[in-house]
Chain A
């Protein structure tokens, strides 16, 4: 049964400052990329869906043919913006922590086996006993992703998971996310800045602009010269390559300054 995430008329303010206004979206299992300039509301929208913030409006997770809403928090995994971890826990414990809702003081063999299964799949079983502080940024993100996936979430939210990563690690993370999207019925929402990576990996793209949904559709429909100009204040040249994939070449800022 396909899961559907429905966001209805969602608004959020930090104090008196409106950050998100009247967001209405329907997301189905696929890899959706969230783009927009700094301050457009990408992280806030992800935090609202993750349950870290309490917005106005409605967020519902339902199965097709079943109108009963499921608990969003129980079925959602969230990877916050990439930061170098100060956590003095091992890779094994960090992934185990993803099961926090079901953990008791004595960890069950099924739970440790599940951790190991995931570590092997991510190719990080060799560093299971290393502490997070000893890992590179790319390895830490892999661990964060494994931690997010161990709960078998129906919704996976990744907030700028590629920050501070080199090109190879950016591709590795997105390849892994793409694999999950292809093989499971998971709704995946990823906020990233690189529009060409968005075009390459996304099945659909949501463009946020000043707290509202400016465009939502396929990469070809959303990543156009005019939309990018409006979103980022950038002059671009967009060409359509194989598989209808747009390729974006940045030319200059519009009028020589970046629009805000």
Chain B
């Protein structure tokens, strides 16, 4: 019996196939939806805990009241929640989601499980941009607020780095090896340039550069959160709209091309989206490593490679991981908030070792 010669005209056989297929497909989809729901629940819980935990400890009940019924709460709790902790908690969610989704698509495009948003030198470029602003930029632009000069410069260099890599990707027809090599070249270039700046920097500038590179959510502002959230929303829309094609690319470039996917165009566009997500996050919060590496692996383990579910799951688990890291950064040493970039690296390195050993 061949594919074309199947007895499709027989209603009974047809109904049987429809019923059985619906059952199997529903079981696959429900399992994934379950993990998405669990991730969302966990995120809500960690989000509230992230607001509750701090030098002045608040109960979850107080946090919920302060968020939704502020008139029921004392003014001090409302102030702590809205002015101090909410921007940080929301920033953890949007930056965690952004870096995780960027990491996922970097792993897909480069066909490399160890790829992350920073594989292509975007963090090095942003670091250089921030260092340049700290050493020379702030004094050149005395009327602009210093944090804005630093973030703006980091963003400009991160985007510049992405554009160079996107152009190389386009010239080399989306070859993963070419993209990775170009990324390595960018890392060396910007690290050397940043080292040069550190060499000539004054002590206070050096301290500022080091502090920026740690990665922290403590300076979060709603205006920044809005920009990152808008870019994350646009990226999710673009990526989910292309989710079948991205799943096809994960089977290999040749296979994807033969399925009718314009691999070169898809990779170019996705690279731009991923770069924007990374550049905007890094420029506001500094370098927060490992979320972009770890979250896609957790999500993939739970929902598989079907990107219709993998993209939202990765976004959720990235937000979960960064929210958890944010909480840990506040409770590891009483009274001290450890920069979150240090925390995520401390959590991420054991995971990376496990991944390397498992993947042999």
Chain A residues within 8 Å of B, Cβ to Cβ = 47, 50-52, 73-74, 76-78, 80, 85, 87-90, 92-93, 97-98, 100-101, 103, 105, 107, 109, 112-118, 120-121, 125, 128-129, 131, 149-150, 152, 157, 179-180, 182-186
B12 contacts A by Cβ under 8 Å: no
Q: Which residue of A lies closest to B259 (CB)?
A: A100
Stretch in B137-145, B153-161, B298-306 touching the partner: B298-306
Contact of A152 among B1, B4, B245, B248 (CB under 8 A): B4
| Minimal Cβ-Cβ distance residue in B for A87 | B305
Task: Decide yes or no whether B61 CB sits under 8 A from chain A.
Answer: no
Q: A52-B257, A93-B306, A184-B5 are in contact. Are A128 and B244 (CB under 8 A)?
A: no
Of the candidates B14, B24, B247, the one whose C-beta lies within 8 Å of that of A92 is B24
Q: Is A100 touching B3 in the complex (CB atoms < 8 A)?
A: no
The interface residues of chain A lying within 8 Å CB-to-CB of B20 are 116, 125
Tell me if B330 is interfacial: C-beta within 8 Å of chain A.
no
A112-B21, A128-B24, A184-B2 known; A100 vs B260 contact (CB < 8 Å): yes
- Is B136 close to A, CB under 8 A? no
Partner of B258 from A78, A88, A152 at Cβ < 8 Å: A78
Given the known inter-chain contacts A73-B258, A87-B250, please indicate yes or no for A103 contacting B6, CB distance below 8 A: no
Contact between B28 and A90 (Cβ–Cβ < 8 Å)? yes
Interface contact A121-B254, CB-CB below 8 Å? no
- The answer for the CA separation of A177 and B85 in the assembled complex, in Å, is 63
Interface mask (B64-88 → A, CB under 8 Å = 1, otherwise 0): 0000000000000000000000000
Which listed residue, B3, B28, B247, touches A129 by the CB 8 Å rule?
B28
A115 touches B21 (CB 8 A): yes
- Please state if A77 and B21 are interface contacts (CB–CB under 8 Å): no
On whether A105 and B304 interact (CB within 8 A), knowing A47-B254, A90-B28, the answer reads no
Provide the residues of chain A in CB contact with B253, threshold 8 Å.
Answer: 52
User: How many Å from the CB of B246 to the closest CB on chain A?
Assistant: 11
A51 near B3 (CB under 8 angstroms)?
no
Tally inter-chain residue pairs, CB-CB below 8 A: 118
| Choice from A112, A131, A149 contacting B25 with Cβ under 8 Å | A112
Q: Determine whether the beta carbon of B261 is less than 8 Å from that of A89.
A: no
Interface residues on B, range: 35 or more
21 contacts between A and B (CB under 8 A): A50-B258, A51-B260, A74-B260, A80-B255, A87-B250, A89-B305, A93-B306, A97-B259, A100-B261, A101-B259, A105-B243, A113-B17, A116-B21, A117-B6, A117-B21, A118-B3, A128-B24, A129-B24, A183-B2, A183-B5, A186-B4
In contact, B257 and A117 (Cβ under 8 angstroms): no
Q: Which residues of A contact B252 (CB under 8 A)?
A: 80
CB neighbours of B243 from chain A (8 A): 105
CB closest chain-A residue, reference B8: A117
Any A CB within 8 A of the CB of B53: no
The answer to whether B260 and A101 have CB atoms under 8 Å apart is yes
A60 to chain B, nearest CB (A): 17
B304 and A180 form a contact (CB under 8 A): no
Chain B residues 10-28 with CB under 8 Å of chain A are 14, 17-18, 20-22, 24-25, 27-28
- A114 CA to B6 CA, complexed, in Å: 10
In contact, A73 and B255 (Cβ under 8 angstroms):
no
In chain B, what residue has the closest Cβ to A49?
A: B258
Given A183-B4, A184-B4, A97 and B247 touching (CB < 8 A)? yes
Docked pose: A138 CA to B304 CA in angstroms: 22
Known: A116-B20, A183-B1. A105 touches B258 (CB 8 A): no
Chain A residue nearest to B6 in the complex (CB): A117
From known contacts A105-B243, A182-B2, infer whether A92 and B258 are also in contact, taking CB-CB under 8 Å.
no
Which residue of the partner chain, among A51, A78, A97, A116, contacts B24 with CB atoms under 8 Å? A116
Contact partners of A78 in chain B: CB under 8 A: 254-255, 258
Contact of A117 with B304 in the complex, beta carbons under 8 Å: no
In the complex, the chain B residue whose C-beta lies closest to that of A89 is: B305
A255 to B260, CA, bound (A): 47
Q: With contacts A97-B251, A115-B21, A121-B3 known, is A131 near B260, CB below 8 A?
A: no
Chain A contacts of B257 at CB under 8 A?
50-52
Hey, what's the 0/1 contact readout for B27-60 against A, CB within 8 Å counting as 1? Answer: 1100000000000000000000000000000000
User: In whole angstroms, what is the CA distance A87 to B250 when docked?
Assistant: 7
User: Is A92 a contact of B244 with CB atoms below 8 Å?
Assistant: no
CA distance A52 to B304 in the complex (A): 26
> Chain A residues near B3 (CB, 8 Å)?
118, 121, 149-150, 152, 180, 184
User: 3 nearest interchain CB pairs?
Assistant: A183-B2, A116-B21, A78-B258
Which B279-315 residues have C-beta < 8 A from chain A? 300-301, 304-306, 308
Complex Cα distance, B254 from A157, in Å, reads 12
B231 within 8 A of A: no
Among B24, B25, B261, chain A packs the most CB atoms within 10 A around the CB of: B25
Q: Give chain B nearest CB distance to A201 CB in angstroms.
A: 16
Residues of chain B from 227 to 255 with CB closer than 8 A to chain A in the complex: 240-241, 243-245, 247-248, 250-255
Q: Which residues in A have their C-beta under 8 angstroms from that of B1? A: 121, 179, 183
B63 to chain A, nearest CB (A): 35
Q: Known A-B contacts: A80-B258, A112-B24, A129-B27. Give 13 more (CB < 8 A).
A: A50-B254, A50-B258, A51-B257, A73-B258, A89-B247, A97-B259, A103-B244, A109-B22, A117-B8, A131-B304, A179-B1, A183-B2, A184-B2
Q: Chain A contacts of B305 at CB under 8 A?
A: 87-89
Q: Which residues of B contact A184 (CB under 8 A)?
A: 2-5
Decide: A100 near B248, CB < 8 A? Known: A78-B255, A89-B305, A121-B6.
yes
